[in-house]
Amino acid sequence: MASDAMSIFLYVLYSLSIFLFTFFLFRTTANRRRSRLPPGNLGLPLLGETLQLISAYKTENPEPFIDDRVSKFGAVFTTHVFGEATVFSADPEINRLILINEGKLFESSYPGSISNLLGRHSLLLMRGNLHKRMHSLTMSFANSSIIKDHLLVDIDRLVRLNMESWSGRILLLDEAKKITFQLTVKQLMSFDPCEWTENLMKEYMLLIEGFFTVPFPLFSGTYRRAIKARTKVAEELRLVVRERRKESERGERKNDMLGALFDEDGNGGGFSDEELVDFLLALLVAGYDTTSTIMTLAVKFLTETPLALAQLKEEHDEIRARKGESEALQWEDYKAMPFTQCVVNETLRVANIISGVFRRAITDVDIKGYTIPKGWKVFASLRAVHLNQEYYKDARSFNPWRWQMNTTGSGTSPPVNVFTPFGGGPRRCPGYELARVGLSVFLHHMVTRFSWVPAEEDKLLFFPTTRTQKRYPIVVQPRTPSNLM
């Protein structure tokens, strides 16, 4: 016990001295270059402005920390958060430069908790040529023609299967998570829902909870549990990979992501089991939480905007009327959902599931008259741009009709590079089309099968991730001819 206390004390002392050393080093560097650094405030020693950031996001305002500084300093400013001097950008042009110069001027940089839990062979942490190769492999697996030819069938089937058990009060976020987890496991490894996928999902939830904690098992029970869950998930995935490697050696091939990886050179792409496990584990993380949250928030925004919900229902009722009660959606049906695509865009814009991306400057970078010093962190805020009045009239309201110019020629079009919910450049989300199709199919079955009301008030939270406080409880009722609204 005494030796535990002593090691904690020594550990804290050691961390403190590293923090102070780094902080003063940055301060000195910052002073030297102050004239060319973006304006801003480094805050308190050690803490910087981290506490201001955390307390700002306790409100219902989606972007208080950035709004406040943009009004004082402009769209690009300097701050110091989570132990590092960081340049924040709310400027679409600068964001674009940051995103397209991945690997040249900047490289992605995730907090320690996320990197440790994902594993170093995940796509999100790969760099250079290997990243290029694996990113394009992932893109080719999730592109429109693959979705059209075989993923859509599973999406439609699994969404309907899950909705069959809905009745009375449900927590929509939990239901959406179940659906997206099952979908992703199916797409990656061809497993249909079973006890194994359910247990795996429970471990995944624990793993994801560890993302926004202090990455020291000694200090955080959540992080400890997440590490344990990661080990269990990796063990399970390793067994799958080994089994599939044997099948592949026998010439058997499944039409899923793992199959695509084995196809690379007929022998697991030359990848080790460890590499394949990290890769799959991270893809499951990237697709699961994001898509389920966007499904839930789309329903919340529609519930609060009855005219939009009515128009969406009309679009989907027409499709259903053509197809009868139980026929599965086809690619042509997905392509005949113009208003749904406005709803999808507007949900992505207002919800901003990924509020922005962190990068690190790998050299001194001159942008718009400022210099971002080598080694500094950069945060390209996608949300600050999406919620800027300059680019979107009445930017903080949910208004799907603003996107109708793309289909009807009315409305005003935002400038290019302003709408970037899936990022951009070499790290652009490879699952963007899959997410859009998944959400559209989910909305189709939701509005054609059910009417619903919120079971209680629930509010949006924006930190550390975008979600609703109570997982959006609603009461659902099957739609019948006498209950069409």
Nearer to ligand HEM, 52 or 388 (CB): 388
Q: Provide, rounded to whole angstroms, the least separation between the CB of residue 428 and ligand HEM.
A: 6
CB of 347 to ligand HEM, least distance (A): 9
Beta bridge pairs of residue 86: 79, 377
* Contacting positions for ligand HEM (CB under 6 A): 108, 123-124, 135, 138, 142, 283, 286-287, 290-291, 294, 353-354, 357, 421-423, 427, 429-431, 434-435
Minimum distance from CB of 318 to ligand HEM (Å)? 26
Cβ partners under 8 Å of residue 307, min gap 6: none
CB of 282 to ligand HEM, least distance (A): 6
Q: How far is the CB of 58 from ligand HEM (least distance, A)?
A: 23
Judged by CB, which is closer to ligand HEM: 193, or 287?
A: 287
Which of 483, 481, 455, 458 lies closest to 471, judged by CA? 458
Is 268 or 431 the residue whose CB approaches ligand HEM more closely?
Answer: 431
Of the pair 103, 375, the CB lying nearest ligand HEM is at 103
State how far the Cα of 55 lies from the Cα of 81, in Å rounded to an integer: 13
Q: Give the nearer residue to ligand HEM in terms of CB position, either 26 or 398.
A: 398
Structure tokens at 165: 């058990």
> Residue 240 CB, nearest distance to ligand HEM (Å)?
17
Report in angstroms how near the CB of residue 135 gets to ligand HEM at its nearest.
4
Q: For residues 268 and 423, which CB has a smaller minimum distance to ligand HEM in the complex?
A: 423
Q: Name the residue whose CB lies closest to ligand HEM.
A: 431
Query: Which C-beta is closer to ligand HEM: that of 141 or that of 262?
Result: 141
Cβ-defined contacts of 68-73 (< 8 Å, 24+): 69/40, 69/41, 70/384, 73/38, 73/39, 73/40
**Cα angle: 408, vertex 412, 390; to 5 degrees:** 155
